[in-house]
A and B are shown apart, each in its own frame.
Chain A
Amino acid sequence: MKPLALFLGCTIPARLTQYESAARAVLDRLDVRAIDIKAFNCCGYPLRNINFEAFVLLSARNLALAERKGLDIMALCQCCFGTLKKAHTLLKEDESLRKEINAVLAKERLRYEGGVEVRHLLQVLYHEVGIKTIKKHIARRFEGLQVAAHYGCHVLRPSPIVQFDNPVSPSLLDELVGVTGAVSVPWQRRLECCGAPLRGVNDDLSIALTRKKLEDAHGAGAAYLCVACPYCQIQFDTVQGGSKNHLLPSLLYPQLLGLSMGINTKALGLEEHQVPIEGIEVFLAQGNRRRGARPPEDRGEEHRGGARRKSA
Chain B
Amino acid sequence: MFFTISVYLALIIFGAGVLYKIFTWFRSSITIGAAGIPFSKRVLSFLSGILATLFSAKFFTLVKVFILDVILNRRILKEDLLRWFMHMCIYGGFILLVLMHALGRYTSAAFFDNYYSTINPFFFLRDLFGVLVLVGVAIALYRRFIAKIPRLMTRRMDLYAIFIVVVIVCSGILLEGTKMASYTVYEQMVADYTVFDPEEAMALEAYWVQEFGVVSPTAQGPFDAATIAQGRELNNMTCAECHSRSQWAFSGYGVARIIRPLVSGLDKMNVHGLLWNIHIFACLIGLAYLPFSKMFHIVASPLSLLANAVMEPKASNPATIATRQMMELDACTHCGTCTVRCSVGAALEEIPNINILPSEKIASIKALASGRKLAKAELKAIQEGVYLCTNCYRCTVVCPVGINLQDLWFNVREVLLQRGMPELSLLSPLSFYRGLMKEEMGHKGYRKPLIKTRKAITETGGVQKRGDQVLPLPQRDREFKGRLSLSAQASTFSVCFGCQTCTNACPVVAHYDNPQKDLGMLPHQIMHACALGLRSLAFGSTMLWDCLTCYQCQEQCPQGVCVTDVLYELKNFSVEQVGTLTAQRMRIG
Task: Please report A residues at the B interface, Cβ cutoff 8 Å.
Answer: 9-11, 13-15, 38, 41-42, 45-54, 57-58, 61, 79, 90, 93-94, 97, 104, 107-108, 153-154, 156-159, 167, 192-193, 195-203, 205-206, 208-209, 212, 231, 234, 238, 242
Are A54 and B347 neighbours in the complex by a CB distance under 8 Å?
A: yes
Are B425 and A50 neighbours in the complex by a CB distance under 8 Å?
A: yes
Are B428 and A47 neighbours in the complex by a CB distance under 8 Å?
A: yes
Are A13 and B392 neighbours in the complex by a CB distance under 8 Å?
A: yes
B394 within 8 A of A: yes
Q: A156 to chain B: which residues have CB within 8 Å? A: 551, 555
Q: A58 to chain B: which residues have CB within 8 Å? A: 344, 346-347
Are A49 and B575 neighbours in the complex by a CB distance under 8 Å?
A: yes
* Contact A49-B429, Cβ < 8 Å, known A57-B346, A58-B347, A107-B150: yes
* Contact A205-B546, Cβ < 8 Å, known A52-B486, A199-B431, A200-B436: yes
Are A41 and B568 neighbours in the complex by a CB distance under 8 Å?
A: no
Q: Which of B455-506 contact A (CB under 8 A)?
A: 486-488
Question: Which of A14, A57, A158 touches B349 (beta carbons < 8 Å)?
Answer: A57
Question: Which of B424, B435, B486 touches A50 (beta carbons < 8 Å)?
Answer: B424
Question: Which of A10, A54, A107, A234 touches B392 (beta carbons < 8 Å)?
Answer: A10
CA distance A94 to B552 in the complex (A): 25
Cβ proximity bits B386-416 to A, threshold 8 Å, 1 near / 0 not: 0010111110000000000000000000000
Q: B508 to chain A: which residues have CB within 8 Å? A: 205, 209
Are B555 and A201 neighbours in the complex by a CB distance under 8 Å?
A: no
Number of interface residues of B (CB under 8 A): 55
Question: Which of B391, B511, B564, B575 touches A51 (beta carbons < 8 Å)?
Answer: B575
- Closest chain-B Cβ to A85's Cβ sits at a distance in Å of 12
17 contacts between A and B (CB under 8 A): A50-B424, A51-B347, A51-B572, A52-B568, A57-B347, A93-B488, A153-B548, A157-B552, A158-B555, A167-B555, A196-B429, A199-B436, A200-B431, A201-B426, A201-B431, A202-B450, A231-B429
Task: Please report B residues at the A interface, Cβ cutoff 8 Å.
Answer: 150, 341-347, 349-351, 388, 390-394, 424-436, 438-439, 450, 486-488, 507-508, 511, 545-546, 548-552, 554-555, 562, 564, 568-569, 571-572, 575
Question: Which of B342, B351, B431, B554 touches A158 (beta carbons < 8 Å)?
Answer: B554
- Closest chain-A Cβ to B423's Cβ sits at a distance in Å of 10
Are B431 and A51 neighbours in the complex by a CB distance under 8 Å?
A: no
Main secondary structure of the interface of A (DSSP, over half): helix
7 shortest interchain CB distances as A-B pairs? A200-B435, A200-B431, A10-B392, A157-B551, A199-B435, A193-B550, A10-B390
* Contact A49-B342, Cβ < 8 Å, known A13-B392, A104-B349, A203-B435: no
Are B428 and A238 neighbours in the complex by a CB distance under 8 Å?
A: no
CA distance A196 to B430 in the complex (A): 11
CA distance A135 to B154 in the complex (A): 56
Are A10 and B551 neighbours in the complex by a CB distance under 8 Å?
A: no
Most B CB contacts (10 A, CB to CB) among A45, A47, A53, A203 go to: A47
CA distance A210 to B146 in the complex (A): 52
Are A158 and B429 neighbours in the complex by a CB distance under 8 Å?
A: no
Question: Which of A14, A49, A79 touches B427 (beta carbons < 8 Å)?
Answer: A49
Q: B431 to chain A: which residues have CB within 8 Å? A: 199-201
Question: Which of B388, B436, B562 touches A238 (beta carbons < 8 Å)?
Answer: B436
Q: B351 to chain A: which residues have CB within 8 Å? A: 50-51, 54
CA distance A53 to B572 in the complex (A): 10
Question: Which of A54, A104, A209 touches B507 (beta carbons < 8 Å)?
Answer: A209
Most B CB contacts (10 A, CB to CB) among A93, A159, A203 go to: A203
Q: A157 to chain B: which residues have CB within 8 Å? A: 550-552, 554-555
* Contact A159-B555, Cβ < 8 Å, known A57-B350, A197-B549: yes
CA distance A30 to B488 in the complex (A): 40
- Closest chain-A Cβ to B548's Cβ sits at a distance in Å of 4
CB nearest neighbor in B for A48: B568
CB nearest neighbor in A for B565: A158
Q: B343 to chain A: which residues have CB within 8 Å? A: 10, 41-42
* Contact A234-B349, Cβ < 8 Å, known A41-B343, A47-B344, A52-B487: no
Are B545 and A201 neighbours in the complex by a CB distance under 8 Å?
A: yes
